[in-house]
Amino acid sequence: MSNDLDFSTVLASTVHDMKNSLGMLLNSLDEVRDSVGEEVRGARPFTTLEYEAQRVHGDLVQLLSLYRLSEEKLSATVEEQLVHDFLDEQQAHHRRLLEGLGITLEVHTEPDAEEGYFDPQLVSGVLTNVINNAIRYAESQLQLNARAEDGWLVLSVEDDGPGYPEHMLEVDFSGTERIDFSTGSTNLGLYFAERMAGMHTAGDRQGFTRLRNGGDLGGSVFELWLP
Amino acid sequence: MDENERYHLYRKLRFLITDDFENFRKSMRQMLSSFGAEKIDMAANGNETIAKCTKDHYDVLICDFNLGSGKTGQQVLEALRHHKLLRHTSLFVLVTAETSREIVMGAREYHPDTYIIKPITQAVLQKRMDALMAQRHALYPINHALDQEDLPEAISQAEQLLQTKTRYRNWVMQILGDLYLQRGTPDLARGIYEQVLEGRELAWARMGMGRAALARNALDEAISHFETLIESNPDYIEAYDALADALQRKGNSRRAQEVVEKALEISPLAILRQKQLASIAASNQDMETAADAWRSTVKLSDNSIHDSPENYLGLGRTLSELSDGNTSSEGKQLADEALKALHNVGRRFKDDESAKTRKQLVAARVYAGQGRMNESRKALDSISDQLDPETLSPEETLDYARALYTQQEDGAAQRVLNQLAERCQDDPKIMKAIEELMDEPVSFHKKNQARALNKEGIKAFESGELGQAADSFSQALELVPQHPALNLNLVQVLLKNAEKEGKGSDPSMLRRCERCLDQLSHLPPQHKQYKRYQFLKKKIADLTSGSNT
């Protein structure tokens, strides 16, 4: 047998398999929820189970996308999207978990941001991870907003938590050099978001992300700017 | 949509859920009935789904991609579209646990109305279905007209809808452009696409520009649109197919082949594209690629509506070319593979008499190519009562002639082809195939050798090395003695050489020219070398009579 195993391919196919298994697991979890009583459904172990499984799922999706990106096999399929419908679906995706955790997630779409042009799969992957992250820091409220600014569509995830620490607001995620990936998954997640945003272009404009604190809820604000 | 509205809407519609897992079917049904749906049918596999759709009409189909051993969800959709069992007003939702690129790309090509990635929660399903229903409702007048096959009405509905403030404006424009193209008014279609592209570079609009250009036969413009599109959207498969089509129409089949190969790299599960590659590659004399493409075609034939004897025969023919005269172990292996493919024709298409005949014709060639002449003869004998040139189809006749050539019965082969030519005078494709076969009734190895020698000869001729040119043409003619262009090339070069040496009417040279021309005595008047043949024949005749007096 040959020794030159292409490890990144092995890793990618294993991750793909793990992701599909986890999908099955999440589906079963959804079914279990319907067959158990309120006292189990609302209990901490159950929501932890679901939250962590969803987080791992999101991480694996992110990992696979980054792998495809490095293999130059990832491209954005930009299509018209009805923004409100799209955000509604993102909200629905997290609804039951949020109910279990006692966190609300509201969707606001401004009238001039009804229409957008992006790859729904890629953007959904980004928002899922950002929301999963925000859930950890939120007190009780999250918002998913869309607005138009200077011809850009800005999708934002806001929470009422303590906000991003100062050093994170300063990181430039457009290159890998200055990002420290050893401190946990957050930086990698934001790098991923930046790359996915950057895959959306129109003319000479290219999508990007922006972090700030404040917003309607006074916590962290993640913004995805799409051309 | 509020609860009440949803309840009323879903109650009226007929749903069909297809999944091989009973649990999934049940949980999907439970979700749909909680939205208000009452008429819900279920199927466990593709064939059951198609049978149900043949009998009944469904408004919404929710079908899993992975259905176990039978058809995939993509093949179900393909079959429903092919047999026109899916109305324009119906919705097809493809469900998949896979996000693997090959599968997603393959599935996209058949345009499901949406695809949902597992795991599916009730809340997500509801949002997605609501959005889909609202869109269906808005576009219903157009799609209803299309179901009635009333194209003008569909166009007029779409045009009216564009006058309103619909939130589906982009969708309507896409449909309308498509309808304009269908109606044969590409200029109107182009107007739509230009309007869209002024605002933003969108793949479907760029694709439309290309298709509109193709419809006006503006090949260069079409090619440039498709190339632009592929540059910015390398996953947009339809653009590759259209680009290959345009390139072939321009006569650039080398590049067309490259483009199809690229498309197959991205989306390899498309059987028709594999077949297209096989045919382009064969026309480019690239038999290795053709064989691989036929292999993939055969693999994808399982459960496909495009399964046909031709897939196995195509593989058999190509492998017969590759193994012809090659009795090394590699050649034997190819021949065995060919015979196995042909054996499958008999097994899979038991009642197809024509397939049986063609299978034996190809088998006879494979055996002959391996020097197994007895078996070759036996294969032909087994179908001798079918081999009446009057009743054989043109394709069968071509196979028959090929088999006769491998039996070294050139005269019989020519008779059969001449008969066919009389019958098929108005079919340029068949006429071209006859011509090619008569010119070069040999395996592609020899054909390629002869072509290379011909090129060498022409090159030598152009640089004035006439003796060397004559040698190359003569060597080529040893491989394909009746090749018209080669024979005429040799005549021309011999004449020129003799003139140069001042021996323009040298009798031995003239006799050699006559022998070349004799090979072409059966050349039919429609052959593209016929005029040149007549011209040179007269010239030689004049010189000969001149030298005799």
Residues A97 and A152 grouped into a single domain: yes
CATH of the domain at B544: 1.25.40.10
Residue A1 lies in a domain: no
Residues A48 and A138 grouped into a single domain: no
More confident of the two residues B277 and A54? B277
Percent of chain B with pLDDT over 70: 98
Q: A92 and chain B: CB distance < 8 Å anywhere?
A: yes
Class of residue B422 by CB neighbours under 10 A (exposed 0-12, middle 13-18, buried 19+): exposed
What pLDDT does A223 receive?
A: 96
**CA–CA gap between residue B163 and residue B166 (Å, rounded):** 8
CATH of the domain at B105: 3.40.50.2300
What pLDDT does A186 receive?
A: 64
**CA–CA gap between residue B60 and residue B13 (Å, rounded):** 7
More confident of the two residues B530 and A5? B530
Does A115 sit within 8 Å of B167, measured CB to CB? yes
Mean of pLDDT values over B275-298: 93
Q: What is the dihedral of CA B194, B196, B200, B206, to 10 degrees?
A: -60
- pLDDT band at residue A179, thresholds of 50, 70 and 90? low
Q: Closest-CA residue in chain B for A22? A: B119
Percent of chain B with pLDDT over 90: 57
- Kindly tell me if the per-residue pLDDT of A142 is higher than 50: yes
Mutate to test the interface with A, among B124, B129, B139 (most CBs of A within 10 A): B124
More confident of the two residues B105 and B163? B163
Option in A24, A92, A96 nearest B126 (CB): A92
Q: A203 and chain B: CB distance < 8 Å anywhere?
A: yes
> Could you tell me where the beta strands, DSSP code E, fall in B209-364?
none
For residue A48, the enclosing domain spans: 7-70
- Kindly tell me if the per-residue pLDDT of A184 is higher than 60: no
Which sign does the torsion angle of CA B208, B212, B214, B218 carry? negative
Does B27 sit within 8 Å of A23, measured CB to CB? no
Q: B170 and chain A: CB distance < 8 Å anywhere?
A: yes
Residue B143 lies in a domain: no
SS3 assignment, position A104: strand
Please give the tally of structural domains in chain A. 2
Residue A128 lies in a domain: yes
CATH of the domain at A207: 3.30.565.10
Does A92 sit within 8 Å of B171, measured CB to CB? no
Q: How close, in Å, is residue A169 to chain B by CA atoms?
A: 32
Which residues in chain A touch residue B119, judged by CB atoms under 8 angstroms apart? 23-24, 26-27, 30
Which residues in chain B touch residue A78, judged by CB atoms under 8 angstroms apart? 202-203, 233
Q: B128 and chain A: CB distance < 8 Å anywhere?
A: yes
- pLDDT band at residue A166, thresholds of 50, 70 and 90? confident
Percent of chain A with pLDDT over 70: 92
**CA–CA gap between residue B379 and residue B363 (Å, rounded):** 7
What's chain B's length in residues? 549
Q: How close, in Å, is residue A97 to chain B by CA atoms?
A: 11
Mean of pLDDT values over B490-496: 92
Q: Closest-CA residue in chain A for B116? A: A121
For residue B58, the enclosing domain spans: 3-138
Lowest mean pLDDT among A172-181, B10-19, B317-326, B330-339: A172-181
Query: How many other β-carbons are positioned within 10 Å of the β-carbon of residue B503?
Result: 12
Helix, strand counts (H, E) of chain A: 7, 9
Q: A30 and chain B: CB distance < 8 Å anywhere?
A: yes
Residues A204 and A132 grouped into a single domain: yes
Does B97 sit within 8 Å of A20, measured CB to CB? yes
R_g of chain A computed on alpha carbons: 18
**CA–CA gap between residue B547 and residue B549 (Å, rounded):** 6
Which is it for strands A79-82 and A201-202: parallel, antiparallel or unpaired? unpaired
- Among A24, A42, A70, give the residue marking a domain's end: A70
Q: A73 and chain B: CB distance < 8 Å anywhere?
A: yes
Does B101 sit within 8 Å of A89, measured CB to CB? no
Mutate to test the interface with A, among B99, B116, B165, B167 (most CBs of A within 10 A): B99
**CA–CA gap between residue B201 and residue B229 (Å, rounded):** 9
- Among B107, B138, B169, give the residue marking a domain's end: B138
**CA–CA gap between residue B25 and residue B5 (Å, rounded):** 25
- pLDDT band at residue B283, thresholds of 50, 70 and 90? confident
Residue A130 lies in a domain: yes
Q: B137 and chain A: CB distance < 8 Å anywhere?
A: no
SS3 assignment, position A81: strand
- Kindly tell me if the per-residue pLDDT of A182 is higher than 70: no
B195, two tokens: 């309007």
What pLDDT does B215 receive?
A: 95
Residue B68 lies in a domain: yes
Q: How close, in Å, is residue B140 to chain A by CA atoms?
A: 18
Mean of pLDDT values over A36-43: 80
Question: Which residues, other chains included, contact A150 with Cβ-Cβ below 8 Å and sequence gap of 6+?
Answer: none
Per-residue DSSP letter, A10: H
Please give the tally of structural domains in chain B. 2
Does B202 sit within 8 Å of A78, measured CB to CB? yes
Q: B231 and chain A: CB distance < 8 Å anywhere?
A: no
What tens digit of pLDDT does each residue of B495-513 get? 998 888 888 778 889 999 9
- Among A15, A43, A70, give the residue marking a domain's end: A70
What pLDDT does B121 receive?
A: 81
Residues A159 and A59 grouped into a single domain: no
ipTM greater than 0.85 = no
Q: How close, in Å, is residue A114 to chain B by CA atoms?
A: 9
- Among B138, B161, B176, give the residue marking a domain's end: B138
**CA–CA gap between residue B118 and residue B125 (Å, rounded):** 10
Does B120 sit within 8 Å of A95, measured CB to CB? no
Option in B98, B123, B201 nearest A20 (CB): B98
- pLDDT band at residue B102, thresholds of 50, 70 and 90? low
At how many degrees (to 10) do helices B484-500 and B466-479 cross?
160
Residues A156 and A47 grouped into a single domain: no
Q: B203 and chain A: CB distance < 8 Å anywhere?
A: yes
Residue B188 lies in a domain: no
Which residues in chain A touch residue B171, judged by CB atoms under 8 angstroms apart? 80
Which residues in chain A touch residue B170, judged by CB atoms under 8 angstroms apart? 80, 115
Q: B458 and chain A: CB distance < 8 Å anywhere?
A: no
Which residues in chain A touch residue B23, judged by CB atoms under 8 angstroms apart? 31
Does A202 sit within 8 Å of B167, measured CB to CB? no
Residue A61 lies in a domain: yes
Which sign does the torsion angle of CA B184, B188, B190, B195 carry? negative
Which residues in chain A touch residue B98, judged by CB atoms under 8 angstroms apart? 20
What pLDDT does B548 receive?
A: 58
Position B537, amino acid: K
Mean of pLDDT values over B231-246: 90
Residues A91 and A169 grouped into a single domain: yes
Q: B228 and chain A: CB distance < 8 Å anywhere?
A: no
- Kindly tell me if the per-residue pLDDT of B433 is higher than 90: no
- pLDDT band at residue A1, thresholds of 50, 70 and 90? very low
Does B99 sit within 8 Å of A68, measured CB to CB? no
Enter the pTM of the model.
0.79
A88, two tokens: 């509604």
Option in A19, A31, A92 nearest B124 (CB): A92
A-B contacts (CB, under 8 Å): 71
Q: A95 and chain B: CB distance < 8 Å anywhere?
A: yes
Does B120 sit within 8 Å of A202, measured CB to CB? no
Does B167 sit within 8 Å of A23, measured CB to CB? no
Judge contact between B74 and B112, C-beta under 8 A: no
Lowest mean pLDDT among A166-175, B168-177, B325-334: A166-175
Which sign does the torsion angle of CA A92, A94, A97, A103 carry? negative
What tens digit of pLDDT does each residue of A204-213 get? 899 999 999 9
Mean of pLDDT values over B290-319: 92
Residues A65 and A95 grouped into a single domain: no
- Kindly tell me if the per-residue pLDDT of A132 is higher than 70: yes
Residues A97 and A200 grouped into a single domain: yes
- pLDDT band at residue B447, thresholds of 50, 70 and 90? confident
Lowest mean pLDDT among B144-153, B239-248, B370-379, B493-502: B493-502
Residues A141 and A180 grouped into a single domain: yes
Give the closest residue to B94 by CA, choosing from B74, B79, B123. Answer: B74
Q: Closest-CA residue in chain B for A227? A: B200
Q: B235 and chain A: CB distance < 8 Å anywhere?
A: yes
Mean of pLDDT values over B316-330: 91
Q: B265 and chain A: CB distance < 8 Å anywhere?
A: no
Mean of pLDDT values over B463-479: 92
Mutate to test the interface with B, among A85, A90, A97 (most CBs of B within 10 A): A85
Judge contact between B311 and B302, C-beta under 8 A: no
Position B246, amino acid: A
Residues A152 and A212 grouped into a single domain: yes
Does A89 sit within 8 Å of B127, measured CB to CB? yes
Mean pLDDT of chain A: 86
Residue B254 lies in a domain: no
Residues A83 and A189 grouped into a single domain: yes
Residue A2 lies in a domain: no
Q: B411 and chain A: CB distance < 8 Å anywhere?
A: no
Residue B339 phi/psi, 5-degree rounding, is -65, -35
**CA–CA gap between residue B93 and residue B106 (Å, rounded):** 15
- Among B118, B138, B158, give the residue marking a domain's end: B138
Judge contact between B305 and B324, C-beta under 8 A: no
What tens digit of pLDDT does each residue of B158-191 get? 999 999 988 899 999 999 999 999 999 999 999 9
Mean of pLDDT values over B122-134: 90
Which sign does the torsion angle of CA B301, B305, B311, B313 carry? positive
Residue A25 lies in a domain: yes
Residues A155 and A214 grouped into a single domain: yes
Residue A15 lies in a domain: yes
